[in-house]
Structure 1
Amino acid sequence: MSKKLFKVLSILLIFLVAILSFAGCSSKNSTTSKSSGEKVVNIFTWANYVPDDVIKQFEKQTGIKVNYSNFSTNEEMLAKLQASKGSQYDVIICADYMVQIMGKQKDLLIQPINKGNIPNYKNVDSTYLDQYYDKGNKYSIPYTLGSEMIVYNPDKVKKDIKGVKDLWDPSLKGSEVLLDDPRSVIGMALTKLGYSINETDPKKLDQAKAELKNLKQNVKVFDADTPHNSLISGDTSIGVMWGSQASAALKGNPKLKIVYPEEGMQFEEDNFVMPVKAPHKENAEKFIDFLLDGKVNNDITNNIEYISTNTAAKKYMSKEYLNNKAVYVPQEEFNKAKHLEDVGDATKQYDLIWSEFKQQ
């Protein structure tokens, strides 16, 4: 082969490689574009926290498929989000103090939400905006408000139950169901001692640990998702649970009684947040906007029985629902409400206390 011919073929080969490389890049970009336009939204929250009927309505109206994953505790959610570095989910619904924790990490886990793309944001009651955990609501939008209360069977519990401290009474041995939630249970011990549920003093936390050791003999069941079931079945006779779960308990056994703890109730404001690498951001905004529609939000709260934070939903609510003691509580209870906050480095001690308590 002549040198001249070899040179020509070499140039042609280089040109061909360049064309194929360009085509490959174009194909890759095309795939990326197609992926970002995928009609999917990935949701991560508690089981049954967005009703199936509402999800089906959203899918029918938008053509966007909802992939629903659930967690049992806020801590489990945080661990999974950290493991995926904010890339697996599009919308997460979680508790207020978790928004505070994630918001402190400088956009590493969650991203600011563009309210301009969510017209129904106007329906959110201003009472629940601009809270301690996210001033200005940069990262979060309120979804519902939950309240933690005591429910018991008066046929089996003869003690006059007034508050959290009564859960330590020896007569309740082997009869209690508690939430499988470290902050809830350790918070009860701190409340009994007269301390903040957000205590960080190691000595006071050690005292709470000792109190839990005394409580353990009374606990029969830990259940974060369905604590009411053991009350209905009669497996337990008294328990601590969220209002929606208390409502379900009373529907299963109308004889059960609800107590608002005299020390003050724990309230939790659950919020929409968007992971920093949400793969379907536009679909996430559409999903949040859909759930903030007044009629849709009423359908949600009627189903899950948490307090609505949506002003537009109120006009659709029945008097029966608004008078449900398990869901809507008196204003004076809000005035002495307890809210969980980030406890920083003390989290390690909380985790250790919880681990030892569960293994007793």
Structure 2
Amino acid sequence: MRKSAQSIARAFTRRDALKTLGAASAAMASPAIVSKAFAASGEVNVYSWDAYISEDMMQTFEAASGIKVNLSTFGTNNEVLNKLRASKGEGFDIVLPSISSLQSWYDAGAEDGNELLQPIDETRLTAGQINPSIYEKSLDLGASQRGARYGVPFNWGTEGLAFNSEELDLTWETASWNDQWKGEYAGKMAIRPRSGLTSIALMIDGTGKMLDDAYQDEAVAHEVFSKALEFGMDHKPNIKVFWKTAADLTGAFTADGCVVGQSWDGTAINMWKETDGKIRYVSPKEGALTWMDGLCIPSGAVNVDQAYELINFLTSAQGGGMHAVHSGYNSSAIGAEAALDAAAQERFKMIYGPNGEAIANLWWWKPEAGWFSKLRSEYITRWETA
């Protein structure tokens, strides 16, 4: 897995992606990526992660296509899965779960006797505007089932360490997941329960191999999360805030007095900008947790034509660039980085190294079987409620 992560990291660093700008310039120059055949063609209902799709993005798409975007947001993968499971795949035309979580969708569909997602018709995608390495990597992470693609890669990002630079100084060369657990930060730390136990396991393991094995072997998973839970219980006094949404995380640092903690990169980068560099973000040396979120069409989608039009906009240099600027995350679209300013490029170097050195050590979220998600949730609940 380390080798795969390293090879794809080289393929889509911001620095390298800028080299493809010329090839993407035509797509960036015009909103004509939205087919005229669907102009003024109704609406599309989207269920997205919070802070992913801005008002400007929706207005730009509607102006070009005539299609109105009705946006609802969620905060966890379980939230969107449970909602679609309850509705038997109806209610939305596009959902944006993490690619690695899709195995749970396949399992739930088989268990319920009702498929939750419909296969992607790749002939209707403008796939050439998506970074090819990301497009292929998504298949390894869970975008396919029985030879069919069910998820289109939308973005990727990491979960590393956010910190108050007035209180501590962390750099990509030396920062460790262990830094947030030091005694001097008791009562001043923020962490996401689900990924917190994972980062503890990665920290204890050091190489990530045992954590990788846990996804395939239930006995190993119990061993890994038992050790992580023991550490988490012993160090729970450090935790000020258990966060689950971007708003929770931002409030932890701006209102609740947290000085260090586990953070999504996009949320941390937005805090970095809003606090004039006081709150910063870095990738730990053991490897930042790395995810890829996708665009999927539920089985009960009504506005399927409109869904494909929006997918093609969101994965274009124009739509992807708007997303990157708005969210702070990395778009899957070729050339999206052109929308980022020089300050954003400099932040990227401070997080991952001048030449993206830290990216070679990323730890990718793996496809999750239903038993694994359930097992981990049990340990999370024990940690949160203790």
Check whether TM > 0.5: yes
Q: Report the TM range for the smaller structure's normalisation.
A: 0.7 to 0.9
Letter in 1 for 2:127: Y
Cα pair distance change 1:70/1:256, threshold 3 Å: closer
Match of 1:351 among 362, 377, 385: 377
Q: What SS class does the counterpart of residue 300 from structure 1 fall into?
A: helix
Match of 1:109 among 116, 121, 131: 116
Report the counterpart of residue 303 of structure 1 in structure 2. 326
Contact kept? 2:90, 2:298, Cα under 8 Å:
yes
1:333 maps onto 2:358 in alignment = yes
In the alignment, is the contact (CA less than 8 A) between 1:59 and 1:65 conserved in 2?
Answer: yes
Whole-Å separation in 2 of the counterparts to 1:234 and 1:156: 15
Is the alpha carbon distance of 1:334 and 1:196 closer, same or farther for their aligned partners in structure 2, counting shifts above 3 Å?
A: same
Change (3 A) 1:81 1:192: same
Counterparts in 2 of 1:189 and 1:138: CA distance versus 1, 3 Å: same
1:55-92 alpha-carbon deviations (Å, 9 max, x no partner): 01222222222211111111111111111111111001
Residue number among 46, 58, 61 corresponding to 2:61 in the alignment? 58
What residue is the counterpart of 2:262 in the other structure? Answer: 240
Structure 1: 5+ residue stretches without partners: 1-36
Cα distance change on mapping 1:103 and 1:39 into 2, 3 Å: same
Residues 79-118 of structure 1 mapped to structure 2, 5 A cutoff: 79-103=82-106, 105=109, 108-118=115-125
Q: 2:251 aligns with which of 229, 234, 238?
A: 229
For 1:161-240, what aligned pairs fall within 5 Å after superposition?
A: 162-179=175-192, 181-182=193-194, 184-194=195-205, 195-196=210-211, 199=214, 200=218, 201=220, 202-223=222-243, 224-226=245-247, 227-233=249-255, 235-240=257-262
Instruction: For residue 278 of structure 1, report the CA deviation from its aligned partner.
Output: 0.8
Query: Offset of 1:304 from its aligned partner?
Result: 1.1
The answer on whether the counterparts of 2:271 and 2:280 sit within 8 Å (CA) in structure 1 is no
CA deviation after TM superposition for structure 1 residue 125, in Å: 0.2
Assess, with a 3 A threshold, how the Cα gap between structure 1 residues 137 and 325 changes in structure 2: closer, same or farther: farther
CA contact (8 A) 2:130 2:316 kept: no
Deviations, residues 268-287 of structure 1 (Å, cap 9, x unaligned)? 11110111111111111111
With a CA cutoff of 8 Å and minimum separation of 6, indicate the structure with the bigger relative contact order: 2
Aligned residues of 1:322 and 1:328 also touching (Cα < 8 A): no
Q: How many residues align?
A: 321
Q: Distance in 2 between matches of 1:112 and 1:176?
A: 42
TM-score, length-normalised on structure 1?
A: 0.81
Q: Distance in 1 between matches of 2:163 and 2:262?
A: 9
C-alpha deviation, 1:219, in angstroms: 0.7
Structure 2 CA distance for partners of 1:156 and 1:313, relative to 1, 3 Å: closer
**TM superposition shift of 1:152:** 1.4
Alignment counterpart, residue 71 of structure 1, candidates 64, 74, 79: 74
3-state SS of 2:300 partner: coil
Q: Deviations over 1:176-195 (max 9, x none)?
A: 1112x41x111022112204
Match in the other structure for 1:134: 143
d(CA) in 2 for partners of 1:244, 1:122: 26
Structure 1 range deviating more: 278-287 or 324-333: 324-333
Distance 1:210 1:197, change over 3 A: farther
Measured in 2, the distance between the counterparts of 1:258 and 1:300 equals 19
Structure 1 SS opposite 2:71: strand
Secondary structure of the 1:196 match is: helix
What's the CA shift for 1:260? 1.5
How far does residue 222 in structure 1 lie from its aligned partner after superposition? Answer: 2.1
Aligned pair 1:320/2:343, yes or no?
yes
TM-score by length of 2: 0.76
Percent identity over paired residues: 21
Structure 2 residue runs of 5 or longer lacking an equivalent are 1-39
**Cα distance 1:87–1:256, how it changes in 2: closer, same or farther (>3 A)?**
closer
Counterpart amino acid of residue 115 in structure 1: E
Distance, in Å, in 2 between the alignment partners of 1:73 and 1:112 is 23
| Residue aligned with 2:348, SS | coil
Q: In the aligned structure 1, how far is the partner of 2:350 from the partner of 2:224?
A: 32
The DSSP-based 3-state class of the residue aligned with 1:94 is coil
- Bigger radius of gyration among the two: 1
Partners of 2:143 and 2:66 in 1: how far apart?
Answer: 32
Question: How far did 1:147 drift?
Answer: 1.1
Given the superposition, is the C-alpha separation of residues 207 and 192 from structure 1 closer, same or farther in structure 2, using an over 3 Å criterion? same
Q: CA deviation at 1:316?
A: 4.4
Cα distance, 1:245 vs. partner?
Answer: 1.2
**2:303 aligned residue:** 280
